[in-house]
Structures are given as structure tokens and as C-alpha cells.
Amino acid sequence: MNTSRPIITMQDVDLEFSPGTGVFDMHMAVNSGTIFGLIGPSGCGKTTTVRLLTGLHAPQRGVVRVLDDTPHRFKTRSRKAIGYVTQQFVLYPNLTVGENLNFAASIYGVGYFSRRKRLREVLDFVELRDAQHRLGNKLSGGMQRRLSLACALVHNPRLLFADEPTAGIDPVLRAKFWEHFRQLRDEGRTLFITTQYIGEAVYCDLVGVMREGRLLHVDTPDNLRRKALGGETIKVGVPPEQSFEAVRRFTSHQAFQEVRRVPRAPGELYLTVEESGAAMPLVFETMRIDPEITVLHAEPYVPPFDDVFIALMEQSANTYSNPT
Amino acid sequence: MRFQSHIYTTKLIKPMFEPLIRLSSFLTKEIAEVVRQPRLILSLILGPFLVLLLFGVGYSGDRPLLRTAMVLPESGSEIDPDVLRQLVGTNFTLVEEPLAEEQALDMLRNNALDVVQVLPSDIRQRVLAGEQPSIRFYSNSINPLDEQWIQYLAYAEVNEINKAILLQSTGETQAEARAARDEIAATREQLLALESGLAQSDPQELQASVRRLRDTTGLLLASPFLLRDDAEAADLRAELQQLQSDLTTIDESISNGDLDQQQQRIVATRQRLDTVDEQLALFADLPPQAIVSPLQPAYENLRGAPYDLMTFYIPAVLALLVQHIAVALGSLSIVRERLLGTMEYFRVAPVSMFQMVVGKYLAYTLFVAVIAGVLLALMQVLNIPFAGSPGCLPGYCFCSRWPRSVWAF
């Protein structure tokens, strides 16, 4: 993760459309050269946040800075450094892929002579070179999203905002998109991406979790996982008939904060520990005391981010319902 | 050094061209989108002609045929019925013999008639009493053009009837003037005889002649022709009144047998008769039409003949249609951007709304110029006249759509 100075900052930002609707108390700082993922359920305020950062909305309170500029009064220089992938496919159905891309290059002022090479590069990047003569209305949903991404990249922006760029496309193509995003990040660009697919958070360098207009957490995926589950997880396999005895043994040891059984797989135990690497020898040591228990396997377990997100949401709900 | 110079030039020049590049993006995009829709282009060219066709079918600039009936006064018309029928029939279509007023109005309400005309009674008496009797026209039309036509044709018809009344009256007065001149001639001879030697004159014959002349001049004084307000009529009236007074004195002198004492009055009366005769001769010998309508219109069209109404209006309607198309296309294009969601994209991009509107405006101006060219070519082929410069058509479209585009935006 890059640790250079923030390219995006939000401090105490509020924007209320109607009582209880909008975004509130937004704080964040995104360094350049990172992928920032904003996750949360539909209607939680992700698009509003993107619109605040792109200058489409002005905050009612607080300070928003992007590229050392104020978004709703962006200078042309700042606008030229930004690429924007909107939530919907907004390009022209009666123009071909190449014409749409050419149009996007024109409105960003890309010169006629340097444009052709750049168009080729971008088309190759999103793998649409073969479809460049196809009309916009003849493209599949995935191709349309890729064309949107190409249009946002055609002027070589330093900062890319993508509002749910993977919505409605298949998992294989989503993985491809994230591959593109990581590639762009590796080129030194900053990406601010919103998504409904919680699992995609693992592809980000920094993740913001939103709920009901509030940013609950901003952290790396690993740290969020720890926050959600109270530590790391080790998955241990024992014969099902020995699982009760194994649970008893593990719970009696203070290094294992929590022991869970899964009803579907009675021989599998999930142990929450502070750090999985350090706790792994303890697993075998604890079981050696009782030679009748056989450890079939033991390995660090990375729970899916959906579980992490649900845990974070539950924590958040508990906090709001029981603030003391 | 050369490399640095190149960088300097690029940095300096590129920002100058960037607004033009952005502006041209909308220009080329709009043209590409329109060209990709051949049915749209076809409809934009055929559309105006179809609209014109409908316009031509639905609109007639000709004078409407208005069915009419007359309502005459119970005392009968003072104007010759044949003359009246001819005058009314010039502007309206007489479909019925004269009717009673209620019957005619019922027919009007049932759309069996378009116009009912009610003529006034006692026209001559009422005019002499200083009134202006009206011919009342009734219609039951909802069509404003028909309404205008009825009012105009009624005005023209009343003018013609007035003229006919004046012609008749003038003719009668001229006949009286000619009779007066005969009497003046006879009286003048008698007076000349008196002047040359009273013995040769027969006083009884002179007295009869004087009395006839006095009666005739009395009739003349009462004629509408001499009741006019102008100076000429006033002079003649004064002369006739003085002549009547002289004739009365001479008549009394003959009765009293002291005519020889009126020698000077006789000479003066004879001279006055000469003057009155001259004036009456001027009036009696003129054609009545020249007196009633001294001026006649004489019209000439240097082009020979005008175009018919439909042909004349086609170029103007075409210009309006083309202009309307341009406005509609520009406005719809901006609405389409909003519906498509591209406005959000533009608001983040370094493109100004001004560049967007001007870019679209230029694209549609070019497009409308092409349509205008095709329409002008078609007008040439179809031999439709075009008053003024054909260049005005795209120019008009260019100028007239700018503020509306901004408004729509």
C-alpha cells in the first residue's frame, strides 16, 4: 500500500436531502496510488459520496478536498485529472465503440494527433479492440461497462472514480475488472470504487464500510476482518464423535477466544485467536494432552468478506441500539 | 534545445485548441448520430412536404360562397328590385326570394343560410331628415375568416347600393336642371324682349313664363344635389334664391301693371339667369357616374399577374417548418442527454455547458442547411417561386434557433 499524502479528504461532511436521508459525519483520507473501496447496502450513500467527491453535489457542512481542489468548484486542471465511470451506461447507443471513445477523448481535450495511439492502448486494455466498430446498442452489458471504463481512462487520469462498475456483470468479468483496477493502481493511479459486492472489498487497499449514510469503518480488509471477528481464525478438523471433547479442551485454553462448531460439518471447529501463526502450535499442543483426540487438519482460515460485513453490520446495529 | 522548444510550443498551443476540440466533439458526435438514422433524415425531408400537403388540403384562401336572403321593408324597396338583386348577387349568392325577417333568421340558425340582409324602409325620407339608415347583416358563423369576408363584402355591397341611390338621385336632379334650363331660356327671351321694347312683349305670356321658372327653380332648390354642404352648391343655392326673389318681384309688377318701373331688375335678372344657366349647364351635361364616383381605381401589376395564394405561401411555410425542425432537434438532443444520464458525465468532465450548446448548435445548423438545400432544390424542380435570396432560408434558421436552444437548455 502506498503511504504518500492524501489525494482525497473528507472532514465532518454532511449532506442531507431530507431528514435522515443523505450522508453524515463523513471522515476519510485516501492516499494516492491506492484502491479505495466503498462498500455498503443499496441506498447507504455510496453514490452520494462519489457525487460529493466529483463535485456533482456540494456539502452542506464540512470540507471535501480532491487533488488539492474543492470538488464543486473544480478547476479545469483538476477535471482533466479525473476519470469517472457512472453507475449507468451513459454512452451513445447509435455510435460505435470507437466513436464513443473518440467523443470521450474529445471532451477531455485529447489532441487529434495523439489520440489514435491512446485509443488503441485503451481498447487493448479493456479488450475491446475487436469490437471497436460495433454500435453501442449491440454491446453486451459487460462490454458496455468495459467501454465506460475505457472512456474514463482515455485521457489518462490520475484519479478514477467508479460508481459500482461491476454491478450486473458475471463473476468472471468482475474478476477481470479488478485485475484492470489493480493494474491501474500499480501504474500509480488512485481509484475510488463503490460496490455492492462485499466480497470485492478484499481487492482494495482500503475499505470504507457504509450504513445508512454513515461511514462506520475505514481500514484495510485484514484489519476490518479482525475488527469484525475479534481476531484471526484457525479451522481445525477432528472426527465428528470427538468434536465435543475437542471443543471442551479448546475452550478451557485462554489463547482460544472463541470456539465454534458448524452444524452442517460436525467435525469442523473454528477457533478465534489473536494471531493464527502464533496460535497454530498451541492447537497441536492442546490436543496432545488427550491422545484419544485426533487432529485431522489445522490451518489458518480466511472467512469470506460477506461474513465480515455481516458481523460489522451487527456490531453497528448493537452500537446504535445500545449506545452505552 | 529543439526538444525544449517543442515542449514549450506544445504547452502553449495545446490549451488554445482544447476548447475547440471539446466543442468539435459535440459537433461530430451529433452529426454521426443523425447520419446513423436514415429514417430520421428521410422523415425530416418528407415531413415538411406532408405538412404542406395537409395545409393545402385544409386551407383555402378563396372567397367563400355565402348563401344569402334579403328581407325587404313592408312598404317595398325604393331601389329597383332588379338593380338590388344584381348588387347583392355580386358579393353574395342569393338563394331565396325576399323573406320575412323571422323566417330568414330561422333559416340562418338552421344553417340553411350564411347571411341575412335586412333593408331599411323610407330611405329617401330618412336621408332627407338627416338620418343614415342601416342595412343589417346577420350571420351565424364560427369561422373567423368567414366573419371577416362577410364584413368586407357587406361593406362593399352597401357602398355599391349607396352609389346606385346616388346615381338615381343625380339622374333625377339633372333632368330637373335640364327642365330649368329650358325655362331659363324661355324667360330669358321674354326678358330680352322687355329690355328692347316693352310693347313687343306680351305681359301675360311673360308672367306665365316667370311663374314656371320660379316653380322649376324651387324644385331645384329642394333637390338633394343642392343640399350638399360644399361652396359650389351654396353659391348656386344663393343664386337660385336671389333669382326666385327677382322673379317674384317681376311677377308682382306684372300683376300691378308697373313693370316699366322694374327695368333695372329685369336687366339684373336676365344676367343672373345667364349665370345660373351656365352653372346648371355644367351640372346637367356631366355623366351621373362622374358626379357620384369622380375617382376610379386603375391597378396594374408590373409582374403581369400575382401567384395564387397557396403557391405564394409555400416558401414561407417551408422556412418555418425547417426552422421548427432545427429548434426541435436541438432541444430534443439536450433532453436526450438528460434522459441518457450523460449530463452527469459532462458535469465532471472539463467541458462547459456553453461548449456543449454551441457544438450541438453548429451540428444542427449544418444539418438544417443540408435539409434547406434539398428543399430548395425540390422547390426549383417543382417550380415553386421564391421571393428574396434562397440564402435567407438557412440564414433564418441559423439565427432564429440560437436563443431557443439556450432556453431549452
Residue of B nearest to A94 (CA): B33
pLDDT at A160 over 90: yes
Contact B22 A84 (CB under 8 A): no
Chain A residues in contact with B352 by the CB 8 A cut-off are none
A92 and chain B in contact, CB less than 8 A: yes
Among A86, A99, A112, whose Cβ lies nearest the Cβ of B341?
A86
- Strand order in A297-301's β-sheet? A258-262, A265-273, A232-237, A297-301
| Dist CA A116 CA A135 (whole Å) | 19
Among A92, A111, A161, whose Cβ lies nearest the Cβ of B21?
A111
A53 and chain B in contact, CB less than 8 A: no
Minimal CA–CA distance to A301: which of A199, A248, A229, A215?
A: A229
Interface test with A, best of B29, B346, B353, B355 (most A CBs within 10 A): B29
Contact A90 B341 (CB under 8 A): yes
Minimal CA–CA distance to A185: which of A155, A222, A160, A163?
A: A160
Chain A residues in contact with B344 by the CB 8 A cut-off are 56, 86, 90
Contact B22 A107 (CB under 8 A): yes
| Dist CA B246 CA A194 (whole Å) | 123
Res A114: pLDDT: 82
Res B395: pLDDT: 55
- Give me the residues of A, 228-287, that contact B with CB < 8 A: none
Res B265: pLDDT: 81
| Dist CA A169 CA A142 (whole Å) | 6
Res B394: pLDDT: 53
| Dist CA B360 CA B331 (whole Å) | 10
Task: Give the residue with greater pLDDT, A89 vs A6.
Answer: A6
Residue of A nearest to B15 (CA): A109
Res A185: pLDDT: 94
Interface test with A, best of B7, B10, B25, B28 (most A CBs within 10 A): B25
A90 and chain B in contact, CB less than 8 A: yes
Query: How far B340 CA sits from the closest chain A CA (Å)?
Result: 6
Contact A103 B37 (CB under 8 A): no
Q: Could you tell me if A259 and A247 are in contact, meaning their C-beta atoms sit under 8 angstroms apart?
A: yes
Interface test with B, best of A66, A77, A103, A106 (most B CBs within 10 A): A106
Residue of B nearest to A155 (CA): B349
Res A262: pLDDT: 78
Res B215: pLDDT: 84
Cβ-Cβ contacts under 8 Å for A59 (sequence gap 6 or more): A13, A14, A15, A52
Among A84, A94, A111, whose Cβ lies nearest the Cβ of B37?
A94
Please tell me whether the overall predicted TM-score, pTM, comes out greater than 0.80 for this model.
no
Cβ-Cβ contacts under 8 Å for A3 (sequence gap 6 or more): A31
Interface of B with A (CB under 8 A): 14, 17-19, 21-22, 24-26, 28-29, 32-33, 36-37, 340-342, 344-351
CA dihedral B373, B377, B380, B386 (to 10 degrees): -10
Q: Which three cell numbers stand for residue B372?
A: 434547406
End-to-end CA distance of chain B: 49
User: Predicted confidence band at A324 (pLDDT cuts at 50, 70, 90)?
Assistant: very low
A109 and chain B in contact, CB less than 8 A: yes
Amino acid at position A86, single letter: T
Chain A residues in contact with B19 by the CB 8 A cut-off are 109
Contact A54 B24 (CB under 8 A): no
Chains A and B: how many Cβ contacts under 8 Å? 73
The DSSP output letter for B63 is P
Average pLDDT value for chain A = 87
pLDDT at A320 over 70: no
Q: Could you tell me if B132 and B113 are in contact, meaning their C-beta atoms sit under 8 angstroms apart?
A: no
The DSSP output letter for A311 is H
Interface test with A, best of B7, B20, B21, B346 (most A CBs within 10 A): B21
Q: In 3-state terms, what secondary structure has residue B288? A: helix
- Of these ranges, A261-265, A317-321, B380-384, the one predicted with the greatest mean pLDDT is A261-265
| Dist CA B239 CA B180 (whole Å) | 14
Q: Could you tell me if A53 and A195 are in contact, meaning their C-beta atoms sit under 8 angstroms apart?
A: no
Contact A107 B25 (CB under 8 A): yes
- In the predicted model, what is the mean pLDDT of residues A275-281? 81
Query: How far B6 CA sits from the closest chain A CA (Å)?
Result: 15
Residue B181 buriedness (CB in 10 A; 0-12 / 13-18 / 19+): buried
Q: Could you tell me if A207 and A201 are in contact, meaning their C-beta atoms sit under 8 angstroms apart?
A: yes
Among A76, A82, A92, whose Cβ lies nearest the Cβ of B29?
A92
Contact B349 A107 (CB under 8 A): yes
Residue of B nearest to A75 (CA): B350
Low-confidence ranges of chain B (pLDDT < 50): 1-9, 400-409
- pLDDT tens-place string over residues B88-112: 888 899 987 888 999 999 999 999 9
- In the predicted model, what is the mean pLDDT of residues A158-165? 94
Q: Could you tell me if B164 and B288 are in contact, meaning their C-beta atoms sit under 8 angstroms apart?
A: no
- pLDDT tens-place string over residues A197-235: 888 888 999 999 998 899 988 999 888 888 877 788 888
The Cβ-side half-sphere exposure at A168, using a 13 Å CA radius, reads 13
